[in-house]
Amino acid sequence: MDVETRPSGPNEKQRTAFISGARLPGWVERFAASHGAIMEEPDDGGTLLRAADGTTALLQAPWPVDGRPGRGTTTVERLASLASQERPLGIILVRRGGYAVGVASGGKVSASKTGSRYVQSRSAAGGSSQQRFARRRENQANALTEAVAGYAAGVFVGHAIEYVVLGGDAALSASVLEDAALKQYASRKRLAFLAVADPNATVLRKAAADACAVRIQVTDPPR
Residue-wise pLDDT tens digits, 101-117: 999 999 999 999 999 86
Give the 3-state secondary structure of residue 196: coil
Residue 137 pLDDT = 52
Strands 108-116 and 98-105: what pairing? antiparallel
Residue-wise pLDDT tens digits, 186-202: 999 999 999 998 999 99
Cα distance between residue 212 and residue 104, in whole Å: 9
Helix ranges, 39-183 (H): 75-83, 127-156, 170-178
Round the CA-based radius of gyration of the chain to a whole number and report it: 20
- Is residue 184 pLDDT above 70, yes or no? yes
Rounded to the nearest integer, the mean pLDDT of the chain is 88
- Is residue 19 pLDDT above 80, yes or no? yes
CA distances from 53 to 15, 29, 38, 39 (A): 17, 15, 9, 11
Cα distance between residue 14 and residue 22, in whole Å: 24
Give the global pTM: 0.85
CB-based burial label for 103 (10 Å; 0-12, 13-18, 19+):
buried
CA distances from 169 to 19, 89, 175 (A): 24, 19, 10
For residues 107 and 24, the answer to whether their CB atoms sit within 8 Å is no
CA distances from 90 to 10, 73, 82, 168, 211 (A): 39, 31, 19, 14, 10
For residues 94 and 176, the answer to whether their CB atoms sit within 8 Å is yes
Residue 7 pLDDT = 46
